[in-house]
Each structure stands twice: as structure tokens, then as C-alpha cells.
Amino acid sequence: MSSGPSIALFYTVIRPEEKWILAAAEARGLAIQRVWDREATFHLEPNGFRADLVLNRSVSHTRSLYALRFFEHYGVPAVNPYGVVALCGDKILTSLRLQEAGIPTPRTVVALTPEAALKALDEVGYPAVLKPPVGSWGRLLAKVDNPEGAEQILEHKTALGSSMHSIFYIQEYISKPERDIRLFTVGDDLVAGMYRHSADWRTNAARGAVAEPLNPTAEMTELALRAAKAVGGGVLAVDMMESPNGLVVHEVNHTPEFKALTAATGVDIAGRIVDYAVEVARR
């Protein structure tokens, strides 16, 4: 029998993270309803859907956005809510919000055409990083070393004919150690941190980066919590780099994986997420 609020887990696949979340919820006597994003349908009326909170673990940004908007329409709170996911899922919107909040971030220029992108790359300077506005796991990123390489990459992106590749998000290349920093925030707390080491300039765990536990400095903690607050808060992973001029935040992840972070630190991140979800459901 449930001893707390009912939680709907909106998911794509049950990975280790989702298994840990389900186990943490069961250990707390919580009723969990599984909602598979590949089969879910949404009516303008609630149509019998009942839950005290939705915990979003879908790996699809598009499915998450529409589903979370429907859950909001039904009056069901979510972790993370639609507004946070819409903001963090778009790198351009994230960069704007970080800049507005006075949080140090790499120099960024956005262009709307390939011709303007070449101009933007000249403004940022080579090498630079070209990213799709929406994406994760370090996919479809390109380090651009010179104008000739830029023309080839832009020609290829244009040929793809996708809306994802028709807006050009360009950042300065940060000369950093062979690592970056991931800090995991839940609500108002920083719960765990790690370095991600890689000889590749993309230091994603999904690309094979090696995780090392990190005891965050006061500066790291303050910057991560400020970044999380700037985008609306919740369950977030704040990624930052050590630039020659100090720490810069380059991304805030709204549905973060935490397998590598849990293994590196031993922190029960799934338990912290479930406890936070219960707190939000009871508000």
C-alpha cells in the first residue's frame, strides 16, 4: 500500500538510472505508474490520467516537451517542468538565460544562414565549436579549425535540410585541461560532482570520458546553484569548464543521466531525486 504521493515515470527505456529510481520509490512505499513515451496518447481532456507528479525521464526532447505541456494542462506537476525543459533543451535559450543571469559562459554567436555563420566564425575566431541548438551526448558537434573546414561543414549541414541544422550556434573553443566538470543539483542542493577526463575535446561520459569524484569548491558550488536557479531549478546537471580566465558554464542538462556520477561518487542520486519529487508533489 502506498505511503506517499503517486508518481508517474515518463520514460523511453529503463536504463540503470530508471531502475534505481523505481527501486528508491519502492523502498519509500510510493506508487509508481509507468508511462512509456512510445505508447502514450494525450487527449485535450485528462481522459482518466491520475498522478500526483510526473517524473520525466524521456530521452526525446520533442516527446518530453509535448508530454510535459499536456501534464501541465492536466494540472499535474512535473520534475522537471515544461518551462525548464523547453529552456535547457535549447542551447541558444540556455545561453541567453545564463548571460542574463550574469553567469560566465563561453563567447557565443548565433547565425540564421550559412553565410552569416561564416561571418560569425570569423568574429569568434578559430578554432571554434559549431553545435546544433538541440542535442545531447556530444553528438553532431564540430570543432572548426579554419575557414576551409567551416565551409565544408556548413555545406554538409545545409544539404541535410533539417531545421536542426539550419540555425548555427557557434561558441569559442575553450582551451581547457583534458577534463570538464559536471555538478548535479537537486532543488536547492548540490548533491554530487565529478571531473570527466578525456583526450577528446568532447568530455561526455557517453563518449567514453572517465569519471573522477570531485569535491566542489565554494566557487563551483555557488556557480552551479546560480546556473540551476537561472533556468528554473529542479533536477539538473550543470556542466562547466576551466578556462584560462576561470570557470565557465557551457550547458545545463534537464534530464541528466547519472550512472557514471553514481559509480564515481557513491551518492544515492536516485534517492535524492525521488525525495525531491515527493517534496514537489506535496507542495
**DSSP letter string, 257-269:** --HHHHHHH---H
What is d(CA 90, CA 198) in angstroms, rounded to the nearest whole number?
25
Last residue of a domain, one of 141, 172, 203: 172
Q: Considering the domain boundaries, does residue 102 fall inside one? A: no
For residue range 137-169, list pLDDT tens digits in order.
556 688 899 988 888 888 877 776 666 678 899
Report the half-sphere exposure of 185 (CA within 13 A, side-chain side): 28
Amino acid symbol at 117 = A
Collect the ranges in the chain with pLDDT lower than 70. 1-2, 136-140, 160-164, 201-207
Q: Note whether 80 and 121 are same-domain residues.
A: no
State pTM to two decimals: 0.91
Q: Note whether 132 and 155 are same-domain residues.
A: yes
Listed residue (49, 95, 58, 50) closest to 79, CA to CA: 58
Structural domain boundaries, residue 181: 175-273
What percent of the chain stands above pLDDT 70?
92
Cell numbers given for 114:
550559412
Q: Output the domain CATH number for residue 27.
A: 3.40.50.20
